[in-house]
Amino acid sequence: MPTRSTSSEKGQIAKIAVVGAGLVGRAWAIVFARAGFDVTLWDGDERAIASSLEVIQARLEDLAKVGLVSDVQQVIRQIRPTSSLESALADAHYVQENLPEILDVKRAIHAELDALAPANAIVASSTSSIPASAFTESLKGRTRCLVAHPVNPPYLIPLVELCGAPWTAPDIVTRTRALLERAGQVPITIARELHGFVLNRLQGALVNEAFRLVEDGYVSPEDLDKTIAHGLGLRWSFMGPFETIDLNAPGGVRDYCERYGALYYDIARQQADPRRWSGVVDLIEAERRKTLPAEKLAERQTWRDRRLMALAAHKKAMEGDEEE
Amino acid sequence: MPTRSTSSEKGQIAKIAVVGAGLVGRAWAIVFARAGFDVTLWDGDERAIASSLEVIQARLEDLAKVGLVSDVQQVIRQIRPTSSLESALADAHYVQENLPEILDVKRAIHAELDALAPANAIVASSTSSIPASAFTESLKGRTRCLVAHPVNPPYLIPLVELCGAPWTAPDIVTRTRALLERAGQVPITIARELHGFVLNRLQGALVNEAFRLVEDGYVSPEDLDKTIAHGLGLRWSFMGPFETIDLNAPGGVRDYCERYGALYYDIARQQADPRRWSGVVDLIEAERRKTLPAEKLAERQTWRDRRLMALAAHKKAMEGDEEE
């Protein structure tokens, strides 16, 4: 279970450079500063830098209301925004890059990071879709580069997917994992490069079946959503699918596989027809807009963020109880 | 959002016969009695009937501790255990059958239920794996029969999958849906018979990909579980996959499909090789037993049930806030 580090437990790695002060970069700054690390927050856009602490403070105040941050001003003091990349990287032990998902942008910034960051610094990218090999191959320091893909927002959803390029030093992955655990996150390690990493492949498997069931007329989009939100999704908010099936047969996971393996193989065979979503997107868009008109999307996103925050507070309380 | 009915809102349908007093039958008795319905609870095993109220009371006291039941004795008074099937079915408006998942057992009990239940009673089966057509075809009252498949335990996980046979009257499905909503459950309707219904097909899609990723050496079973429990599963505990993607692109679900449809189609093509679990079950069993020795399975199941109960209380509080 994740625990928050305090400054006194920081150990060797203490200085974090967050590159890019958009939504993802600001969220990473909150994660690291909340854990007691010193954070520099860089952006090429002076306006983004000028407004960053104000935006971060508003998020921190929301978190403080539900007990996910204890001292807002203390966290703010850990973050130093700057528009000088040299200054942001000076003395950094770990760099988290968050620029747009465009290959040329990634290549250009990683060339700069490689030139400017201290030789022993780890350089991680938040990219969700570009493998590290695509933007680090020609770098002198390519063995210290990897992907550390967060879920939005990482201060509420702690999972981080770590995935190196073929040349990434194993020790870099190990050290990043330890660092992120000290920051209160839950890192996982992907052994080699993989399209969509793990989280989006799992989401894709389920969502593709959801589209298929609606396209074939078995269930409405609204009822399909209820199946997860009031059924299957409950256990998965605190334990994974293997633990779920391990606890769902008297003799554990092997027993479960013997009982239900044939059923799930049959289902897999019925799901082996890859389909594009284009055949059914009109229907789902129409149903969603009946449930939630377009002009209410932003309001519902605020609702989702409030629910996520309350759930994070609930989980923290439950996991605190278990550690006692 | 589900709300609990009180007796004064019961309307027409008030008397429920629960057939089978095992784990699932007792849980249904709790669901209906908690909502204020009169419940008869039948089992052919006298010992099961004799101990049923004691076991139910223990569950109700657990629920009362977290605010999911207000008056344990009031709920207990709504339940009348009996070993006479005639007595259990007399005056019933709705029958929920929960006998073992064996086709001959289902056929035999449904023949009895059809003969003994009042002509206007709805007859539902909790089966998770047998379509209603397989055990109702020859019944005189086959148009009133359907599957109402709960998730265990239904007093904590409200989803119920409704699926009729080809001859089930549409009105029966509609009335069952309304009844279960009044009982505080979240029913969904499956338009025609489907192997695994909806929930297990969605679970299968994700779990089959989980087995595939472990078998191919991309991720450990433990890290895969973390991906759900600390990542993907959080939002899904309060909203479904369509709402999730609808809120994850500025322009809603159509916009999401345009941005990411190609990625998810690529993923679907890589997931189109149905595999049996037998190639990897040894590895997953070994890893699970390192994390959780076999002798601790029961203790961990108790932990899971406590977490589910706390989550149900959390969700009830959140949804109560929203209704205000």
- Cross-chain residue pair A253–B285, CB shorter than 8 Å: yes
- Cross-chain residue pair A191–B219, CB shorter than 8 Å: yes
Buried/exposed A21-40: b ≥16 CB within 10 Å, e otherwise: beebbbbbbbbbbbbbbbbb
Tokens for A206, please give them.
């389920």
For residue A144, pLDDT over 50 is answered with yes
What CATH architecture does domain A199-291 belong to?
Orthogonal Bundle (1.10)
Q: What are the strands of the beta sheet with A15-19, ordered from one edge?
A: A79-82, A38-42, A15-19, A94-97, A122-125, A145-150, A159-164, A186-190
Say which of B202, B232, B277 has its CB closest to residue A199. B232
Comparing CA positions, the residue from B59, B4, B2 lying closest to residue B35 is B4
Smallest CA–CA distance, residue A193 to chain B, in Å, is 8
CA A199/CA A212 separation, integer angstroms: 20
ipTM of the complex: 0.95
Global confidence as pTM? 0.94
Q: pLDDT band at residue A2, thresholds of 50, 70 and 90?
A: very low
- Cross-chain residue pair A235–B266, CB shorter than 8 Å: no
Look at A4 and A254; give whichever has higher pLDDT.
A254
Chain A residues in contact with B226 by the CB 8 A cut-off are: 159, 186, 188, 240
Q: Supply the DSSP string of B18-60, one letter for each residue.
A: EE--SHHHHHHHHHHHHTT-EEEEE-S-HHHHHHHHHHHHHHH
pLDDT of residue A77: 97
Comparing CA positions, the residue from B215, B253, B210 lying closest to residue B232 is B210
pLDDT by residue (tens digit) across A288-317? 999 999 999 999 999 999 999 999 999 999
- Cross-chain residue pair B268–A274, CB shorter than 8 Å: yes
Say which of B191, B232, B314 has its CB closest to residue A314. B314
Q: pLDDT band at residue A13, thresholds of 50, 70 and 90?
A: low
Say which of B221, B275, B304 has its CB closest to residue A239. B304
CA A187 to chain centre: 9
pLDDT of residue A323: 61
pLDDT by residue (tens digit) across B176-203? 999 999 999 999 999 999 999 999 999 9
Residue of B190, B193, B264 to mutate, interface with A, max A Cβ within 10 Å: B264
pLDDT of residue B6: 43
**Residues A282, A285, A287, A290: what is their CA dihedral angle, to the nearest 10 degrees?**
-130
Q: Where are the domains of chain A?
A: 7-190, 199-291
Name the residue in chain B with its Cα closest to that of A275: B265
Residue of A264, A297, A316 to mutate, interface with B, max B Cβ within 10 Å: A264
CA A284/CA A219 separation, integer angstroms: 11
pLDDT of residue A1: 39
Pick the CATH number of A7-190 from 3.90.650.10, 3.30.420.40, 1.10.10.10, 3.40.50.720: 3.40.50.720
Chain A residues in contact with B234 by the CB 8 A cut-off are: 156-157, 237, 308, 311-312
Q: pLDDT band at residue A8, thresholds of 50, 70 and 90?
A: very low
Residue A42 contacts by C-beta under 8 Å, 6 or more apart in sequence?
A: A17, A18, A19, A20, A21, A49, A81, A82, A83, A84, A85, A88, A89
Tokens for B121, please give them.
């009673």
Smallest CA–CA distance, residue A284 to chain B, in Å, is 8
Q: What mean pLDDT is predicted for residues A192-211?
A: 98
CA A78/CA B105 separation, integer angstroms: 67
Chain A residues in contact with B267 by the CB 8 A cut-off are: 195-196, 200-201, 204-205, 208
Residue A71 contacts by C-beta under 8 Å, 6 or more apart in sequence?
A: none
Residue B262 contacts by C-beta under 8 Å, 6 or more apart in sequence?
A: none
CA B123/CA B140 separation, integer angstroms: 12
For residue B7, pLDDT over 80 is answered with no
- Cross-chain residue pair B236–A241, CB shorter than 8 Å: no
Residue with tokens 């049930």: B305
Q: How many CB pairs under 8 A join A and B?
A: 359
Smallest CA–CA distance, residue B73 to chain A, in Å, is 27
